[in-house]
Structure 1
Amino acid sequence: MNNIHHIEFHTGSKEELFPDFSVDFPYIASRAELDKYAGRFVPWHWHKAVELFYMKSGSLEYHTPGGKLLFPAGSGGLVNSNVLHMTRAMPQTEENIQLLHIFDLSLLSGEPGSRIEKKYITPIAAAPQIELIPLFPGNAAQEAILKRITEAFRFSGEEFGYEMKLREALSEIWLMLFELSRPMLENGRTHSKSNDKIKLMMIYIHEHFAEKLSIAELAASAFLSQRECFRVFRECLNMTPVEYLNTYRLQTACRMLARGTEPVTVISHACGLGSSSYFGKVFREYAHCTPSEYRKRWQDCDT
């Protein structure tokens, strides 16, 4: 199981990159130490692989376009394929450990178009109403799934039959989730085009955040009017395009401060935030400390 302290992305996107994913066995187990992430949060992102998680300690707030949920220690859940989400460690002072099974659904379904894919995988993976399946102790059915999730972390890659045992365990968990999610599947919500449009505009921002961007340019990247651009951002992220752009610039600055040694002036211009005096002002409002204080705090955490 890999210990992770930060998130990586595909170039010019907010689709998460999994460097250890292999084509012949698309699965990784991770131990996310979220209290060591810069700012103790993971920004908005998505990934084709599904995310099956268990909270070992602390609490984690999950945000999706459909709302937010708090997961305390002992709870867990499933984040569906390609769902836009962000997480924040709660509260801000204690250890926060999340255990994750991350895998491509082809691991369970086999060949594209197989009976297993059509009958058991696609009904959940393609259901727009299923962004997140929460699992909490106190409910017998959900507790049983949580138990299976934690047991599946005990398999060792060194033992004979590891891959087949793990696939069997994940398949059992998936079937249990299928049964649990039947009431959600009966809600025949159609696919929202806003989900696709917001990703196009987020990608455009991630590729051009250092430049001077206009709402007209941003809207055009998703073939929308400016009015529709504002509506989609409000619907999916509960913020305006400008608020997201500025937040993304500041998050990028946080990562640069936490991981590098570039002067503050260089970082402010590289993130599209202009002069160092303006950068210092907006950064203090965002992070409640100066850029230099932030750098010291988070670089000290890695030592």
Structure 2
Amino acid sequence: MQIRMDKENRELKAHGSYEFPVNISYEQLSRYERGSFSWHWHPEIELTFVLSGQIGYQVNGKSYVLKEGDGIFCNTNALHSGHMIDGMDCVYISTTFAPRFLYGFSNSVIQTRYVEPVLTDMQLASIVFSPEIDWQNQVLACMHRIYDLSLSQPSAFEMEIQGLLLSIWIEIYRHASFSGESQNTAAARDVERLRILLDYIHRHYMEHLTLEDLAAQIHICRSECCRFFKKCMNESLFDYLLDYRIEKSLPLLLERQASITSVAEQTGFSSPAYFSKIFRQQMGCSPSEYRNRADHT
């Protein structure tokens, strides 16, 4: 399994409905082929509560390790991804909701005074919640209660969920450290540059890509492009490209309709031998062994 995205890395999954724009789901990293979900974004706000294990969580240029009982707020349109730590599974609750669910109608006092300042502050792309801090523990309790309500669905549960989300928002607003950095600042420019690079890689990974190609997308020199990507992603451009190509090869191998040579070509590797070498380094087995193991599970 992997997150379905459009060409701009926007998640395609429906996050609730127009009438009730909230989606609450029980998630496990082990459900993803490599124990991780790819960089993506969506206009909805996302709240994540860790039930067991740990998760490495990245939002824009920041990295976190969340353990059992922790939570995180991921702001609208923020780039984010997650992965296992030391190969151990993580179980978590994901709650995504449209900002309008909080404020009701455009230009209301709730929207302009309390919601928009959080949504548009680049330094509030993410907030980690710890049970050791009183107000954050209250937020975490609300997040868990929302999940319980989604399962039991008692009378008026939708209204109670809305009330809990508003309670969470009040705590975020009261305790947030507003930087005043709007989406027109250098930080916003860097996030947009990163989106452009990821988008280009995700659309052209099957082709022969050069550093010149990538740097040209954001109009900077090759060395600056490498430094920028490393700063934002904590890995090199080349390593990310190889990792993404391996990820895209997995469903092709499981379909069994293409030879190993064809899979290598379709995912941008220069030769089957190089594909097999990188695959073994990352997956701990050869492409053929991975395909055969899937037949026995």
- In 1, distance between residues paired with 2:107 and 2:244? 38
Cα shift readout 1:141-196 (whole Å, capped 9, x = no counterpart): 21111111101112248544333222121111111122232xx2147584511110
Partner of 1:63: 58
| 1:185 corresponds to which of 178, 183, 190 | 178
Partner of 1:32: 27
Partner of 1:100: 94
User: Where in structure 2 are the equivalents of 1:1-303 lying within 5 Å?
Assistant: 6-10=2-6, 12-19=7-14, 21-93=16-88, 95-156=89-150, 159-181=154-176, 184-186=177-179, 190-192=185-187, 193-257=189-253, 259-262=254-257, 263-297=259-293
Q: Structure 1: where are the runs of 5+ without partners? A: none
- In 1, distance between residues paired with 2:284 and 2:251? 16
The count of aligned residue pairs is 292
Specify whether residues 228 and 121 from structure 1 end up closer, same or farther in structure 2 by C-alpha distance, changes over 3 A only.
same
Question: What SS does the corresponding residue of 2:229 show, helix, strand or coil?
Answer: helix
- In 1, distance between residues paired with 2:237 and 2:13? 28
- In 2, distance between residues paired with 1:45 and 1:175? 27
Tell me, yes or no, if the aligned pair for 1:66 and 1:131 is still in contact at 8 Å.
Answer: no
Question: What SS does the corresponding residue of 2:27 show, helix, strand or coil?
Answer: strand
- In 2, distance between residues paired with 1:130 and 1:206? 27
- In 2, distance between residues paired with 1:298 and 1:236? 34
- In 1, distance between residues paired with 2:120 and 2:107? 14
Tell me, yes or no, if the aligned pair for 1:197 and 1:232 is still in contact at 8 Å.
Answer: no
- In 2, distance between residues paired with 1:136 and 1:179? 16
Tell me, yes or no, if the aligned pair for 2:264 and 2:271 is still in contact at 8 Å.
Answer: yes
Residue 239 of structure 1 deviates from its aligned partner by 3.0
Residue 247 of structure 1 deviates from its aligned partner by 1.9
Residue 26 of structure 1 deviates from its aligned partner by 2.0
**Aligned-residue RMSD, C-alpha:** 2.3
> Which amino acid is 1:185 matched to?
F
Question: What SS does the corresponding residue of 1:43 show, helix, strand or coil?
Answer: strand
- In 2, distance between residues paired with 1:37 and 1:150? 23
Percent of residue pairs bearing the same amino acid type: 27
Tell me, yes or no, if the aligned pair for 1:30 and 1:99 is still in contact at 8 Å.
Answer: yes
- In 2, distance between residues paired with 1:260 and 1:180? 49
Residue 113 of structure 1 deviates from its aligned partner by 2.9
- In 2, distance between residues paired with 1:6 and 1:60? 16
Scaled by the length of structure 2, what TM-score is found? 0.88
Tell me, yes or no, if the aligned pair for 1:65 and 1:235 is still in contact at 8 Å.
Answer: no
Specify whether residues 197 and 298 from structure 1 end up closer, same or farther in structure 2 by C-alpha distance, changes over 3 A only.
farther
